[in-house]
């Protein structure tokens, strides 16, 4: 087909790619961040955006309109390089390709025992148009792996807590008779060291206990008593102990509350019955005519019209039983000649 040869040659010329660099004015191919409205340089986090553009003709000199990451289409010099080598804390770096010019990628890999914020061990960084590498998450110690050695032991005390991983705590406590000085809690830190020195357990003592009025102290006499030691008190016969007879030397060097020996009370009514322990009794019917400390006795009082009686109560406190203001003790003559008219014997109101 001699006549078809020129047509075939023409088609081949159209299909063959054009060699050489990108022609001036061509747009940057591929996806890129949305085009910026600003016409000047803009600062982003860790990146300075160059002049915005749509085409190479928008740029001056050797600059071309290229995609510059978050800055979008910008006027940059393709041959510009970022610094190399790069040191990243707790990480290793290497170039993905053998170049560190604009657009090159650097892989940042965390060292053993470290991870990035999202839990990954590596990330890519890109050489930007401002000749800086894009930010990657910092490599922090992997707390799930870091742990401390056993916490220090202390004399006369112990610690609680079985896990020694980073972020975990142990708590110290002293044995009875000792008081803790210092911080009672230590924490395992990211550097696999405990947060501070261990506390100290100091011996605690109490001075000799005070005597109790109308009572006895049951204890070995000493110049001082160790915390946790116990002594006992007894009251003299006929007295009631108010409080615990057992007193302990506390961790702060003081004694627990001491008891009191309280006296019984004499009922000050001779010619009238009273209400005691739920029974209406003559005073002579109460053993020894005495009631215990803290007990209540009710006396009979006349109403204003002197026609009936009502009860008024009072309480014994350490030997004193005050009479109600309304109570009037019958005279001997009233009690002897008219016993049925005594206040406790008339009808109740």
Whether the pLDDT of residue 296 is over 90: the answer is yes
pLDDT at residue number 102: 92
How many domains does the chain divide into? 5
Are residue 196 and residue 252 in the same domain, yes or no?
no
Same domain, yes or no: 272 and 313: yes
| Owner of token pair 């110290």 | 172
pLDDT-based confidence at residue 43 (cuts at 50, 70, 90):
low
Question: Quick one: 162 and 195 in the same domain?
Answer: yes
Tell me the average pLDDT across 202-228.
91
Q: Is the pLDDT of residue 42 over 50?
A: yes
CATH number of the domain at 193, please: 2.10.70.10
Residue 23 forms part of a structural domain: no
Is there a single domain that holds both residue 283 and residue 337? yes
Binned at pLDDT 50, 70 and 90, residue 186 comes out as very high
Is residue 29 very low, low, confident or very high in pLDDT (cuts 50, 70, 90)? Answer: very low
Q: Tokens 């001779």 appear where?
A: 270
CA distance 324 to 206: 45
Give the DSSP per-residue string, 40-109.
S-EEETTEEE--B-SSGGGS-TT-EEEE-GGG-EEEE-TT-B--SS---TTEEEEESSS--BTT-EEEEE
pLDDT at 107: 94
pLDDT in tens, 167-178: 889 999 998 878
The angle at the Cα of 226, spanning 224 to 232, to the nearest 5 degrees, equals 80
pLDDT at 249 over 60: yes
Q: Report phi then psi at 341, rounded to 5.
A: -100, 0
Q: Which domain, by its residues, includes 113?
A: 91-141
What is the model's pTM? 0.44
pLDDT of 236 reads: 94
User: Is residue 44 very low, low, confident or very high in pLDDT (cuts 50, 70, 90)?
Assistant: low
More confident residue, 41 or 220: 220
Which of 100, 116, 141 is the C-terminal boundary of a domain?
Answer: 141
* Amino acid 213: pLDDT: 93
In a domain, 148, yes or no: no
Are residue 197 and residue 224 in the same domain, yes or no? no
Mean pLDDT for all residues in the chain = 84
Residue range 135-164: mean pLDDT, rounded: 86
DSSP string, 241-281: EES-SEEEB-TTS-BPPP-EEEPPEE---SSSEEEETTEEE
Distance, CA of 200 to CA of 315 (rounded, Å): 51
Among 10-19, 72-81, 155-164, 196-205, whose mean pLDDT is lowest? 10-19
Percent of the chain past pLDDT 70, that is, above it, reads 87
Q: Are 217 and 180 contained in the same domain?
A: no
pLDDT of 25 > 50? The answer is: no
3-state SS of the chain: helix, strand, coil percent to 5?
10, 35, 55
| CA-based end-to-end distance of the chain | 146
Are 103 and 116 found together in one domain?
yes
What does the pLDDT read at residue 267? 94
327 and 275, same structural domain? Answer: yes
| CB 214, CB 236: distance < 8 Å | yes
**pLDDT average, residue stretch 297-318:** 92
Residue 16 φ/ψ, nearest 5 degrees:
-70, 140
């Amino acid at each position: 087909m001699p006549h078809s040869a020129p047509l075939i040659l023409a088609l081949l010329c159209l299909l063959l790619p054009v060699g050489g660099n990108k022609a001036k004015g061509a747009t940057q191919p591929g996806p890129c961040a949305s085009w910026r409205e600003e016409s000047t340089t803009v600062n982003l986090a860790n990146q300075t955006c160059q002049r915005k553009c749509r085409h190479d003709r928008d740029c001056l000199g050797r600059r071309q309109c290229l995609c510059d990451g978050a800055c979008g289409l910008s006027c940059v010099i393709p041959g510009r390089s970022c610094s190399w080598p790069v040191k990243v804390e707790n990480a290793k770096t290497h170039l993905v390709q053998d170049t560190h010019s604009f657009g090159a990628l650097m892989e940042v890999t965390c060292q053993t025992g470290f991870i990035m914020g999202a839990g990954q061990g590596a990330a890519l960084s890109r050489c930007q148009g401002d000749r800086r590498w894009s930010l990657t998450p910092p490599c922090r110690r992997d707390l799930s792996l870091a742990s401390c050695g056993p916490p220090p032991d202390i004399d006369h005390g112990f610690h609680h807590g079985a896990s020694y991983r980073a972020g975990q705590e142990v708590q110290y406590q002293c044995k009875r008779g000792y008081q803790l000085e210092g911080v009672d809690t230590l924490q395992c830190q990211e550097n696999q060291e405990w947060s501070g020195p261990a506390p100290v357990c100091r011996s605690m003592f109490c001075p000799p206990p005070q005597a109790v009025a109308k009572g006895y102290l049951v204890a070995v006499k000493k110049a001082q008593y160790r915390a946790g030691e116990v002594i006992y008190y007894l009251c003299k016969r006929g007295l009631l102990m108010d409080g615990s007879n057992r007193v302990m030397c506390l961790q702060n060097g003081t004694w627990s509350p001491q008891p009191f020996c309280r006296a019984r009370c004499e009922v000050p009514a001779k010619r009238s019955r009273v209400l005691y322990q739920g029974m209406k009794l003559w005073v002579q019917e109460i053993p020894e005519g005495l009631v215990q400390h803290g007990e209540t006795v009710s006396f009979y009082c006349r109403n204003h019209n002197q026609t009936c009686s009502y009860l008024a109560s009072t309480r014994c406190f350490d030997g004193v039983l005050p009479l109600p203001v309304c109570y009037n003790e019958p005279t001997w003559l009233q009690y002897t000649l008219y016993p049925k008219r005594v206040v406790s014997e008339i009808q109740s109101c």
